[in-house]
Amino acid sequence: MIRAAVRSGAGIVQRTPVLASPPLSDLVHADVVLKAENLQRTGAFKIRGAMHKLATLGDDAKAGVTAGSAGNHAQALAFAAEHFGVPCEIFVPAGASISKIEACRRHGAIVHIGGANVHDAFVAASARADEAGLIVCHPFDDPAVVAGQGTAGLEIVDAVDDLACVVVPLGGGGLAAGVAIAVKSLRPDVSVVGVQAERCAPYAGRPPEEGAITTLADGIAVKRPGVVTAPLIERWLDDVVTVDEDTIADAMVMLMERAKLYVEGAGAVGVAALMSGATVPADSGTTCVVLSGGNVDLGVVPGLIRRHEAGAGRRLTIFVRIDDRPGGLAQLLQIFAQSGANLLEVQHIREGLALHVRETGVRASFEVRGREHAESAVADARRAGYAIEVE
């Protein structure tokens, strides 16, 4: 069935590159490569399953298709529906990526927004299907979708001669199951590890949180294992591990900074697992990490960069009380300028503090060369009489 899915996606599904990753290989002391599904059409692996699903439906899809999705499956289904010339309605939870929603609309899909999570979106899509005679295309719990996602596994086996381990994001299980079946059917000696976000990890035995789940890995924030995929995950995967939000953020930045790859949180969890030690690479041979998607909401990126710069000692944020008089702030900033610190932002804070009537609070952030530079700049300001608090 996976070989048939290759034919279904011919001319649309791209054979994404498998890229060497020297920074990650050096970090974990093993040979690591990256399967760059973030470079796939529609920005994620989901086009593989969507194309095969619609191909198997044939004329049955003429009335239209629908789905509940956090965004990547929605984009893929909208694209596939446009390709096959069938109507498409998409349901996404509140808080879904704006870029993904707009991409669906560009492909001609009607998008409905509401509900706390992917499950709620799927329930709404199912109700709409009953009402309008549409066919529900599940994001993962469908044999045709699993087979389509499995084509990525065939490409990994073809590309990596000494493949020893595959680390793959695990949400509902369509990608992980498909890749594992494809890889292990050809290379039963290869281990396959699924990675979930700690905040939503049903395959790791954690009960789901109530309401909406806030995670960088929203694309794999699926609360319940699938009826189709759960037994496949149990049979074909060697292990399931989890990663926390900080590690996901670190992985996203590392991929941007060192690999020049734009990867969303859900797509970066495999890298996060290796970076954090949640899983370890193969002792010999090559470990392949699947980067499942690259549809990053642009609003997330500044926060990631600020966090990374602060952690690396390249961003200094201070709070200080100064005289509220003309030139008071300029005098403070001049001290930091003379030290070589570059001002990024400054904020006056007059509310919520026990300030003298002639005082104001100032919070300022500077770009610095490292921790030693930051300490030197702060020391200069303190010698000038400022009671600097480093945040």
SS3 percent helix, strand, coil of the chain, rounded to 5, is 45, 20, 35
- Least Cα distance to 52 among 22, 93, 10, 100 occurs for 10
Separation of alpha carbons 216 and 224, rounded Å:
18
Express each pLDDT in 258-296 by its tens digit.
999 999 999 999 999 999 999 999 999 999 999 999 988
Q: Is the pLDDT of residue 357 over 70?
A: no
- Least Cα distance to 167 among 209, 196, 143 occurs for 196
Q: Is the pLDDT of residue 14 over 70?
A: yes
Express each pLDDT in 311-320 by its tens digit.
777 889 999 9
Express each pLDDT in 21-46 by its tens digit.
999 999 999 999 999 999 999 999 99
DSSP string, 172-207: SSHHHHHHHHHHHHH-TTSEEEEEEETTB-GGGTPP
| pTM metric for this prediction | 0.83
- Least Cα distance to 20 among 344, 334, 289 occurs for 289
Strand partners, 34: 19, 289
Q: How far is CA 347 from CA 108, 308, 350, in A?
A: 44, 21, 10
Q: Coil, helix or strand for 385?
A: coil
Measured in residues, the chain has a length of 391
Q: Are 17 and 24 in contact (CB under 8 A)?
A: no
Q: How far is CA 8 from CA 48, 51, 174, 293, in A?
A: 9, 6, 17, 21
> Which percentage of the chain shows pLDDT scores above 70?
98
Strand partners, 136: 66
Q: Coil, helix or strand for 304?
A: helix
Separation of alpha carbons 108 and 85, rounded Å:
10
- Dig out the tokens for 52 from the structure: 């095969």
Domains and CATH numbers, the chain: 2-44+148-303 (3.40.50.1100), 46-136 (3.40.50.1100), 313-390 (3.30.70.260)
Q: Are 341 and 335 in contact (CB under 8 A)?
A: no
Least confident piece of the model among 105-109, 141-145, 208-212, 245-249: 208-212
